[in-house]
Structure 1
Amino acid sequence: MANPWFVYLLRCNDDSLYAGITTDVQRRLSEHNEGGPKSAKYTRNRRPVKLVHKEVCKDRSSATKREMAIKKLTRKQKLELISD
């Protein structure tokens, strides 16, 4: 079986939220916090970032679809998702 994919939400230093997908959440979190070329442009100037939510998905396609759905949520809805 292939590695599962994850959708994750980060809380940035400026209190904004960032959504992404990966197969290795801890590695990706480290990349975001290092701020190098593998970090997202959005998080590079908003470090440190903290993992506040993650979901397991069966494959990359479902992870991408879930990420897009999360990105369409309002901030209030994202905060409600985090608090569950």
Structure 2
Amino acid sequence: MSLSPLDSDSNWNLYLVRMASGQLYCGISTDVERRFAEHCANGAKTARALRGRGPLTLVYQTAVGAHGDALRAEMRVKKLPKTEKEKLVRGERSLP
């Protein structure tokens, strides 16, 4: 079984962005700084959920390994209640 280029890349990160409303957006990327700049630019590459919701603040990021690991971590974090996501941001809990 051969791996796709995404699966063999182990430099994926999970990140959380705080919107002006206080809501948290969870995403994954191999280059968090570039991706955050795309979100802040409010252009075509901005996640739909973040458009017009600025100013944005990058509040959390962590390396999670391969693309599949990142996708699974993202889904687990997205299912957490906001109180648990806030604990993650403050460093009071680890990734689920």
TM-score of the superposition, structure 2-length normalised? Answer: 0.83
Q: Deviations over 1:24-45 (max 9, x none)?
A: 0000010000010101011011
Q: Which residue of 1 aligns with 2:90?
A: 83
Secondary structure of the structure 1 residue equivalent to 2:60: strand
- Are residue 22 (structure 1) and residue 7 (structure 2) matched? no
- Which residue type is aligned with residue 51 of structure 1? L
**Greater Rg by CA:** 2
Supply the distance in 1 between the matched residues of 2:79 and 2:10 (Cα, whole angstroms). 26
User: Does the CA-based 8 Å contact 2:13-2:70 persist in structure 1?
Assistant: yes
User: Does the CA-based 8 Å contact 2:9-2:67 persist in structure 1?
Assistant: no
- Which residue type is aligned with residue 79 of structure 1? E
Shift, 1:58, TM fit: 1.3
In structure 2, stretches of 5+ residues that fail to align are 1-7, 92-96
* Structure 1 segments (4+ residues) deviating >2 Å: none
TM-score of the superposition, structure 1-length normalised? Answer: 0.94
Supply the distance in 2 between the matched residues of 1:48 and 1:6 (Cα, whole angstroms). 22
